[in-house]
Amino acid sequence: MDEPIATSAIWTVIILLGLGTWLIRFSFLGMIGSRQMPEWALRHLRYVPVAIMPGIVAPLVAWPAATGGTLEPVRLIAVIVALLVGAYLRSTLGSIIAGLAVLYSLLAIVY
């Protein structure tokens, strides 16, 4: 390894990133408080979970790090099963159990 990272650099990053992240999280919750938000804003915010989570997941499914970045059928099938079971049963726990069960049984069969 070349020269180590300076202690001051490490602490600066820890403190600024910690503070900045908290400010991002606090932002709207802190500033708006109990004031009424306009209807158009509420209409957009209703879609935050379905707008963000699939966007996080899609690249992880399409290019999984563990397979060196190539699409792999076992992981794809596991995610699809988790999605369908979760949507059908309206259950997060059911979705997790189904997804992991499919992932591990297929991995055991295939490899």
Contacting another protein within 30-59 (CB under 8 A):
30, 32-35, 37, 40-59
Q: Find the binder of another protein among 38, 70, 73, 90 (CB under 8 A).
A: 90
Q: Find the binder of another protein among 70, 71, 73, 85 (CB under 8 A).
A: 85
Length of the chain: 111
Asked if 22 touches another protein (CB under 8 A), the answer is yes
Q: Is 75 exposed, middle or buried (0-12, 13-18, 19+ CB in 10 A)?
A: buried
Distance, CA of 9 to CA of 24 (rounded, Å): 22
The number of helix segments (H) and strand segments (E) in the chain equals: 5, 0
Asked if 71 touches another protein (CB under 8 A), the answer is no
Q: Find the binder of another protein among 69, 71, 91, 105 (CB under 8 A).
A: 91
